[in-house]
Amino acid sequence: MTDYFDFIKSLMEGEKREEALKGLRVVEITHFIFGPNIGRVLAQYGAEVVKIETPGEGDRYRIAAIFGRFYKRANLLYAILNANKYIIAADARNEKARKIIFELIKKADVFVENLSAGLVDAMGIGYEAIRKVNPRIIYVSCSGYGQYGPLSRLPSFDVAAQGVAGVAMKTGWEDLDEFYKLPDYFGDYLPSMYAVFAVLSALYFRKYWKRTIYRHFTM
């Protein structure tokens, strides 16, 4: 059995390993926690992530704080969620800015958005529009209740997600007749990790299985 300290030393001082997602390019238009955490995890493993924010507005989580203001309008959690990303300002509602966004998307593997349902289509950057620019794109849409259906147009945050999913009713203490919200934005972080897993699965499918299935059905 390898000694623990020798094992750790080999990881830290041994041959440098290439980052797992090196070469992967991601473009995101996200805000708050759900969407940005997807890009954060991908960037942490070596992906090149470009975050696009609307000029003058930006990610509204920059100033989300009940106790004060922050340097350059960026609270600490915002900084953590958007670490290792390139950040540019471009308003997708503007035709010239949209052309710049499309140029980035042409070279990207993944596009991530977590705006309200229907908003990206109204801005001209919905799936059908982006697919024309890059047919191979993996498009991740993270609205609270999906793009269609009776709840699709409703806003969703952590506490709402926990309520609708039944988490709030299934946690807490039996002797308290009230719902219990799991702390630390469980309704954002858990689904964002599902999305990361979905992205990795889609990348694997696109590179390996899609080709295999195509050969199978054309033999």
**Residue 188 among the catalytic residues:** yes
Find, among 32, 31, 5, the residue nearest to 185 by Cα. 32
Number of structural domains (the chain) is 1
Amino acid at 183: P
Query: What CATH number is given to the structural domain containing 104?
Result: 3.40.50.10540
Q: Is residue 166 part of a domain?
A: yes
Amino acid at 118: G
Q: Is residue 84 part of a domain?
A: yes
Whole-number pLDDT of residue 174: 81
Domain that holds residue 84: 21-218
Q: Is residue 4 part of a domain?
A: no
Whole-number pLDDT of residue 204: 93
Q: Is residue 1 part of a domain?
A: no
- In angstroms, the CA 179 to CA 161 distance is 13
State the catalytic residue, choosing from 59, 109, 158, 188: 188
Whole-number pLDDT of residue 68: 67
- In angstroms, the CA 126 to CA 123 distance is 8
Rounded to two decimals, the pTM is 0.87
Q: Is residue 140 part of a domain?
A: yes
Residues 6+ apart with CB under 8 A from 179: 163, 168, 169, 172
Q: Is residue 67 part of a domain?
A: yes
Whole-number pLDDT of residue 189: 95
Which pair of structure tokens corresponds to residue 5?
């300290």
CA-based R_g, the chain, Å? 20
pLDDT in tens, the chain (219 residues): 568 888 888 877 867 778 999 999 999 999 999 999 999 999 999 999 999 999 988 898 988 765 667 777 778 889 999 999 999 999 999 999 999 999 999 999 999 999 999 999 999 999 999 999 999 999 999 988 888 889 888 888 898 899 888 898 888 888 877 888 898 899 999 999 999 999 999 999 998 876 665 554 555
Q: 38 with 192: CB under 8 angstroms?
A: yes
- In angstroms, the CA 143 to CA 114 distance is 5
Q: Is residue 13 part of a domain?
A: no
Q: Is residue 81 part of a domain?
A: yes
